[in-house]
Every structure is written in structure tokens, then in C-alpha cells.
Amino acid sequence: MATCTFCRIIAGESPASFVYEDDLVCAFLDIQPVQPGHLLIVPRKHATSLCQLSTEKGERMMAVAQRFVRVLREGAAVPCEGVNLFLADGNVAGQEVPHVHLHVIPRTSTDGFGLRFGAAYGTRPDRTELDRIADAVRERVQQLGDRLGASAEGTPHD
């Protein structure tokens, strides 16, 4: 996709500081990092949303993320006491580049970064409401079946 920032990077048309490449995904440093060492893992083939991504590519993204969490926590060239993984899916979720990407963000106790929760966050729904939502989600999983890319079979958690 010629207008996609990440597709241009992957095609070599825009610069990036790559830290990993394979046949399905690549990883490079974010040009506007939250912390030094903040990297992005992206699928080589354009997909706007996580639900457009094959299970294989999603699994590879997570496997690469796991590898880099270890690298960052075990002595990379940047301070790291912990790591956040963040994937925004859709504009309202904060996705700024319409190409699936997983942020791997090294954290320190003094970095000042954090997530902001909405005003209703402290209010817990009752179990009846949680069960109603769980039932609706399980029903939709059964309806979608194979379209989910994995087995739709499962048992309720008791």
C-alpha cells in the first residue's frame, strides 16, 4: 500500500532502524519513542486491523515481542526494569498508523509513562453483568466459528 508509512518502510522507501526481519514480520525502533529502545513489530503484508491478520502472523508478532522483551530486560543498551506491550486496533483505540503494529516499550520506575483510565474504571460491574457479557461473547465465537482463525470450541470457565 503506497500511502502506508509502514509499508513504505518495509519496502525500503523510507528509512528505519531495523532490529529484526524475517519472512512474516519485521521490527524497528519507533521514531517517536516513549522510552529509548521503544520498538514496533509489524507484519510485512499490510493489514489495517488485527482481525485482518492471519493467526500465523499474529503468533509470529508475539513470538518476536517475547524475544525482544528478553533482550531488553537482560541487558540491552537501554534502561529497562519492565516492558509494556501495546497494540491499538482502530482510531478510537489510539491507532495512528493504519497498519497493525505491536509496541514493545521498555519501562523504568522513573519514566513518567502510564495509562489513563476513564472515570468509570473504579466501578466494578456485578457478576450478573459480567456473566451476561461473557455469554454474548461466547455466543458470537460459536457463530463465527472458523472465521476466527482458530477453533471455536471451548468450554465456559467455571
pLDDT of residue 152: 38
Catalytic residues: 101
DSSP class of 37:
T
Say yes or no to pLDDT of 149 above 70: no
CA distances from 78 to 20, 85, 101, 106 (A): 17, 17, 21, 8
**Average pLDDT value for residue range 68-82:** 92
In tens, the pLDDT along 104-137 reads 999 999 999 988 888 999 899 999 999 999 999 9
State pTM to two decimals. Answer: 0.86
* 19/37 Cα distance (integer angstroms): 10
DSSP state of 53: S
Cell numbers for 115, please give them: 495509562
The residue type found at 30 is: D
Inform me whether the pLDDT recorded for 154 exceeds 50.
Answer: no
CA distances from 103 to 83, 89, 95, 129, 134 (A): 10, 12, 11, 32, 28
Work out the average pLDDT over 39-65.
96
| Res 1: pLDDT | 62
